Structure 1
Amino acid sequence: MRFKGIYTPVITPFHEDGSIDWDAYAEIIDNQIKHGIEGIIIGGTTGEVYALTVEERIEQLKFAKDRIKGQAEFMAGVNDLSAATIYTMAQAARDIGADSMLVGAPPYSIPTEAELANHVLRVDKIANLPIMLYNYPGRMGVMMGEEFLSRVAQSSNICGIKESSGDINRLHMFVRHFPQIELCTGADDQVLEFMAWGATSWVSAAGNIFPKECRRLVEVCSVEGNFDKGRRLMKAFLPLMHTLEQGGKFIQCVKYGAQLQGLPSGAGPRPPLLPLKKELKREMDEIIRNVRISVNAILEEKE
């Protein structure tokens, strides 16, 4: 298996004036390393990549490379509205020394499956790095279907897929027809289902809040095979997962959740997003407190 464990798409903390808080960013990365997270994704949706300039994104990759120092896998998200920018980011990821890349479809253009495959294979050729595909039709407008997968699976660099479609039937398709492409949990509220079908990794937005606990959930299911305990843990996590995936304030909730854990998540998101209102903050306060208590109570039980 190429991808194992937790891959956290880390948040980007900003100062009040909207600039990146690099000291806080260093602490965010260090916290992931401290808790033994297997992979750190720089340039993911959770990091507000859509709100950053290309120059800022490349600076983030350089900063992360120097900060991570091989203590976790360094995965570069290279996605963008513009294919040309994606190719630039892929070259930057290669030159800076990323270990792997997260590659999705350019939003808004709505390519055919053949066009999307051609695009991904071009990214592959530029960087020649292991690739985790990113299937998220809700944000990118297209599904990575069987025609696309058949074309890109011919490259040995296409190692896995972050499946964020929400369609459980896709798990059956991968197991039956594309076993060479590793399944990675892309929706925080479907971790247990993915692990039951053999996934060994999870791109976890919740890893920004509960890195140690999320890592243990993967270990309990995919390493220990203890799905009874896994179900109990997942049930305890579900209020948080539901709020992140279904609440409509994904970035804000992840950042506020990290703040509640004592991390410097910054002044808030960049526009067009607005900070959380007091009502949702109070709801998150209760959710985080209850999840922390219930999850850790299960993890501290004697076997």
Structure 2
Amino acid sequence: MASGLLPRSSLGLRNPIATKVASKHHVQVVGASKRRTSVEEIRKLRLITAMKTPYLPDGRIDLEAYDEMVKVQIAIGAEGVIVGSHAGEGHVLSWDEHIMLIGHTANSFGESIRVIGCTGSNATGEAIRATELGFAVGMDAALQINPYCGKTSMQGIVAHLEAVLSLGPTIIYNVPMRTGQDIPAEAMHALARNSPNFVGVKECAGNERVRHHVEKGLVIWTGMDSECYEAMRTCGAVGDLVLLLLLATLFLG
């Protein structure tokens, strides 16, 4: 399925057998008859869980445990799930595993919850290919980060994100503590003005940034549990993209 992607290093896998998971779980490519979820539909989502990725002792993804986790999110009212994000250790999954998990989630639960695939990459070409595959297997929207580690110019950030925004509805993820580089507010606003696929921002750079974006008319979800109440109560964020996983763990086991 993902053979056209640049391979992620096997050093990131817990066990070489983990690479076999994609061959054991064939993912259906969604036909052209499926209606693409609109930007406005994604903007209406309020509670979105960044899913963890459970593993079996031999390193394979534990799909039974994963499915139970998704069912919990549906039961407690989450409106969307993010698959393969930092919370789900997407950075150590192979692309085969990554796309398989997005497709599995869409095929199994897409009628009950929106599926947002974290298909960003440090390499623009790799992000494009992963995002194309993510939409092909049924995700409703993409979550995209800026290139990490190798810091680039504002023009470089914009060019990278414009390339993936062209593919479908996209939430931009600004998490400078992980990428090593903040996406400047002016870059975010330029993307919002110029791309019809720009959904909004998962913002982790603090509530002053959240407030600034909201004043400019952007749709913002907070990615910081410790700041989510203030972000939604006083800064204008529309929802939270992490908290529901914590609630499920605390109150539903």
Are the equivalent residues in 2 in contact too, given 1:79–1:105 (CA < 8 A)? Answer: yes
SS, match of residue 175 in structure 1: helix
- C-alpha distance in structure 1 between counterparts of 2:210 and 2:103, whole Å: 35
Give, in angstroms, the shift of residue 261 of structure 1: 4.5
Look up the match of 2:246: 209
Partner residue of 1:294?
Answer: none
Q: Which residue of 2 aligns with 1:183?
A: 220
What letter is aligned with 2:83? Answer: I
Identify the match of residue 6 of structure 1 among 10, 31, 47. 47
Contact 2:203–2:221 (Cα < 8 Å) also in 1? yes
In the comparison of the two structures, how many residue pairs are matched?
A: 210
Structure 1: 5+ residue runs without aligned partners? 212-256, 263-303
Normalized against structure 1, the TM-score is what?
0.65
Q: Which runs of 5+ in 2 are unaligned?
A: 1-39
- Matched letter for residue 231 of structure 2: F
Residue identity matched to 1:33: I
State, as a whole percentage, how many aligned pairs show the same letter.
25
Structure 2 equivalent of residue 170 of structure 1? 209
Question: Which of the residues 106, 109, 118 maps onto 2:150?
Answer: 109
Instruction: Give the one of 216, 232, 237 matched to 1:199.
Output: 237
In the TM superposition, what is the alpha-carbon distance from 1:40 to its structure 2 partner? 0.8
Q: Counterpart amino acid of 2:136?
A: D
Deviates more, 1:103-112 or 1:114-123: 103-112
Residue 189 of structure 2 is aligned to residue 147 of structure 1? no
Structure whose alpha-carbon radius of gyration is higher:
1
Distance in 1 separating the partners of 2:110 and 2:223? 26
Q: Aligned in 2, Cα 1:174/1:69: closer, same or farther, shift over 3 Å?
A: closer
Residue 89 of structure 1: how far off its partner (Å): 1.1
Quote how far apart the aligned CAs of 1:168 are: 2.7
Match for residue 141 of structure 2 among 100, 104, 108: 100
Counterpart AA for 1:160: G
User: Could you tell me how far apart the structure 2 residues matched to 1:146 and 1:52 are?
Assistant: 30
CA distance in 1, matches of 2:117, 2:107: 14
How far has the Cα of 1:197 moved from its partner? 1.9
4+ runs of 1 displaced by more than 3 Å?
Answer: none
The residue correspondences of 1:217-296 to structure 2 (distance < 5 A) are 257=249, 261-262=252-253
**Which residue of 150, 161, 170 corresponds with 2:201?**
161
TM-score with structure 2 setting the length = 0.78
Q: Deviations over 1:179-223 (max 9, x none)?
A: 1x201111011111111222222101x322314xxxxxxxxxxxx
Check the 8 A contact 1:3/1:201 in 2, yes or no. no
Q: How many angstroms apart in 2 are the aligned matches of 1:63 and 1:83? A: 25
How far 1:147 moved relative to its partner? Answer: 3.1
* 2:5 aligned residue: none
Letter in 2 for 1:80: S
Letter in 1 for 2:54: P
Which position in structure 2 is the counterpart of 1:131? 170
Aligned-pair CA distance for 1:42: 0.7
Q: Indicate conservation of the 8 Å contact 1:191/1:202, yes or no.
A: yes
Aligned-pair CA distance for 1:57: 0.2
Residues 1:35 and 2:76 aligned together: yes
On the 8 A contact 2:185/2:213 being kept in 1, the answer is: no
Counterpart of 2:151, as a letter, is I
